[in-house]
Structure 1
Amino acid sequence: MKALLLALVGLSLSASALAADGDNNQEENVYASQLCHLVSSEKKTSDLDGYTEKMKSQLAASQSSSAIQQPEFNEEIAQEVISAWLELGEDERGKLRHDQSQCEQTVMTQFQQQD
Structure 2
Amino acid sequence: MPNSKLYKGSLTTIILKLLNEHDKMYGYEITQKVKELTKGELNITEGALYPSLHKLEADGMLDVEVVKVENRLRKYYKLTESGTKETVNKLEELQNYIKTMQALVGKLA
Higher RCO (C-alpha 8 Å, min separation 6): 1
**Given the two structures, how large is their TM-score scaled by the length of structure 2?**
0.48
* Greater Cα radius of gyration, structure 1 or 2: 2
Structure number having the greater strand percentage: 2
Higher helix share: 1
